[in-house]
Amino acid sequence: MAKNTFHIVGHQLCPYVQRVVILMLEKQIAYSRTNIDLYNKPDWLFAISPTGKVPILLVDENKVIFESNVICEYLDEVSINPLYPSDKFDKANHRSWFSFGTEILDLIAKIIYQDKSLFCANESMIESGLALLKRYFLIIGIFPHQSST
């Protein structure tokens, strides 16, 4: 297991933080966490987060990684039992799905944080994204007992 110390700067509702935390729990990576108020960001956030967004991963207290997908990939690489496959093609395939997941998370985040008027538009985009996923799973046979029609 990695000997580094890990600290997450996050927000309790943030789905991007949740994806990092899910990975850390799954891989039993020890971490500490500070939640911030995104509507009243502390000044110190901008010294560690160029975008002013969370999650931020602090490695050994003063090394910073931002962007949840990059944080996840880094944590997967520095810990045992990688979730990513070692085969380059399979790994690229996993990254494709990671990107797809990010698109869905972007829509979910908009629903959580933005104006009510955007809620319906984003909700239907999420439904469309999930419908794409369902169609694909039916085509490749992940749901063997259901027909694709």
- Phi, psi (rounded to 5 degrees) for 66: -120, 165
- Phi, psi (rounded to 5 degrees) for 9: -100, 120
Binder among 21, 38, 78, 104 for ligand GSH (CB under 6 A): 38
Binder among 9, 29, 54, 75 for ligand GSH (CB under 6 A): 54
Q: Is 52 in the site for ligand GSH (CB under 6 A)?
A: yes
Query: Choosing from 6, 9, 11, 14, which is the catalytic residue?
Result: 14
Residue written as token pair 């395939």: 93
CA distance 110 to 113: 5
Is 14 tagged catalytic?
Answer: yes
Assess contact for 71 and 62: CB atoms under 8 A.
Answer: no
Interface residues for ligand GSH in 69-128 (CB under 6 A)?
69, 109
Q: Is 8 in the site for ligand GSH (CB under 6 A)?
A: no
Assess contact for 107 and 126: CB atoms under 8 A.
Answer: yes
Least distance (Å) between residue 63 CB and ligand GSH: 17
Residues annotated as catalytic (active site), given as ranges: 14
Contact residues: ligand GSH, CB under 6 A:
11, 14, 16, 38, 52-55, 67-69, 109
